[in-house]
Amino acid sequence: MTVDPAQDSSTAPVRSTAPGFRPEIAERLPLVQHLASFADAPASTFEQWTADYGPAESWDLMIEDRDLPGPHGRVPVRIYTPEGLVPDGGRPVLLWIHGGSFMHGDLDMPEAHDVARGVAGRADAVVVSVFYRLVDEPATWADAKPAANPEGETGVHAPASLDDVMAALHWTVEHARELGGDPARICVGGASAGGNLAAAATLRATHEGIAIACSLPIYPALHGELPEPAEDEAAALADVPLPLRFSPEVYREMSENYLGRPLAEATAYDFPALAGREQLAGLPPTYLEISEFDDLRISGARYAEQLQAAGAEVELVLRHGVPHGHLNRRGLAAAHETMDAIAERVRRS
């Protein structure tokens, strides 16, 4: 396993070489540092916290929306194709999956649209961005909202989200040449909840005999419950403002809400960290990125250890100075760095 603390390739435990939040993020910390959650603040506070850090990137791409067939109904995707001649053999292809705690998100959010554009442009790759079925907000929440699904479906739970992703993956494999892609160079990646689905889709595809060139889970949620943090992880998280944290209780509620049944009944396709060594042994090379000030770094790091123990090739990278979800921050330099890293792995797949 290559362990890379924002690009230090030692094999020591993951540690940040640049303590503290990045300056542009630190400037906004006063907005949240005294809050217990964003629910305790006016909407304007959340809007200021999530405001763009800079303009959207511009890339010369063809962008097309399609509805694909899936086992639960249509699966919306957005396809990003670089302009220009298709290279001999075709371009690499990335199936990309947005996050949102399995409850939120769409094809327009920066974590979907900006990342798909950025990777397609950087890697000269075809990117297929997937909108999967979402679960409703927990009924215990005040003013809980139903999921914004393609057909207005409610009551969705696992494995419907993964079924949608797999439908999109099967379609992408079958139509790769038509898209100008190389079917032997198909990668699967995603962020947060999408990182879970990317790892699960890679696992399921491998077990189905579909060759995936590279798996790219970014700050993923891979466990049903967060493992205990190591000393260095706990130290990094100790002073992170509460609205930016995933407490064990909040994380478990997200997992139970996604699963829709007791966590004891979960499978490795629900939470890939449940996979045994034999299930993980045949997986493709994995680039797994975690964020310094994110409780989910614990899940990603432990899964990387599992992959290594199973003999799979894994590169673990710590993105320093950022909390969870930095790919959803338009114009943030750290988001550009992560897109650079994803694009490099896709390009050489």
Which residue numbers are catalytic?
Answer: 192, 294, 324
Q: Which residues pair with 67 in a beta bridge?
A: 76
Judge whether 246 and 219 are in contact, CB under 8 Å. no
* Rounded-to-integer distance, Cα 13 and Cα 33, Å: 28
- Taking a C-beta distance cutoff of 8 angstroms, is the pair 31, 45 a contact? yes
Contact indicator for 47, 325 with CB cutoff of 8 Å? no
Q: Three-state secondary structure along the chain? A: CEEEECCCCCCCCCCCCCCCCCHHHHCCHHHCCCCCCHHHCCHHHHHHHCCCCCCCCCCCEEEEEEEECCCCCCEEEEEEEECCCCCCCCEEEEEEECCCCCCCCCCCCCCCHHHHHHHHHHHCCEEEEECCCCCCCCCCCCCCCCCCCCCCCCCCCCCHHHHHHHHHHHHHHHHCCCCCEEEEEEEEEEECHHHHHHHHHHHHHHHHCCCCCEEEEECCCCCCCCCCCCHHHHHHHCCCCHHHCCCHHHHHHHHHHHHCCCHHHCCCCCCHHHCCHHHHCCCCCEEEEEEEECCCHHHHHHHHHHHHHCCCCEEEEEEEEEECCHHHCCCCHHHHHHHHHHHHHHHCC
